[in-house]
């Protein structure tokens, strides 16, 4: 969805962009899962928008790194989202603020939902990139 110049820059420094995308998913999945689940204590629309923006940026990076490898992107996102959540739960285990978020629906649903969102952004970006290049 971004310009060809952005994707060319990704091709030039693949490792740097892969590290950035990995850290981004780990960081935002660890921080945001307590703020983006509607109906639970701590829900914030600001964090929902911020997380979606970061996932959009990661999806654009994945377009440049793993074009047409949708299942690979999906599996990487599930693993990284799960690790990010696990990292946060490990650091704050026993905190009263996490008591409401310690449900199996959150443990299983959030990594899957995050991976689906990133994968959908990835598919849409590939679609628009191919469509844009077909007209030029």
Write down the pTM of the prediction. 0.85
- Alpha-carbon span 89 to 13, nearest angstrom: 33
pLDDT in 10s for each residue of the chain, 136 residues: 457 788 889 889 999 999 999 999 999 898 888 888 787 777 889 999 999 999 999 999 998 899 889 999 999 999 999 999 888 888 777 666 666 667 788 888 889 999 999 999 999 988 887 777 654 4
**Domains: count for the chain:** 1
Structural domain including 86 reads: 4-135
């Amino acid at each position: 969805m971004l310009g060809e110049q952005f994707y060319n820059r990704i091709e030039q420094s693949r490792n740097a962009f892969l590290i950035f995308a990995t850290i981004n998913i780990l960081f935002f999945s660890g921080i945001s899962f307590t703020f983006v689940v509607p109906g639970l204590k701590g829900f914030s629309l600001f964090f929902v928008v911020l997380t979606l923006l970061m996932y959009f940026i990661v999806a654009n990076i994945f377009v440049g790194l793993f074009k047409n490898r949708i299942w690979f992107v999906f599996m990487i996102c599930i693993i990284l989202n799960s690790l990010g959540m696990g990292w946060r739960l490990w650091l704050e285990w026993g905190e009263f603020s996490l008591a409401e978020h310690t449900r199996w629906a959150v443990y299983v649903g959030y990594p899957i939902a995050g991976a689906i969102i990133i994968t959908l952004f990835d598919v849409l970006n590939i679609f628009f990139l191919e469509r844009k290049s077909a007209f030029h």
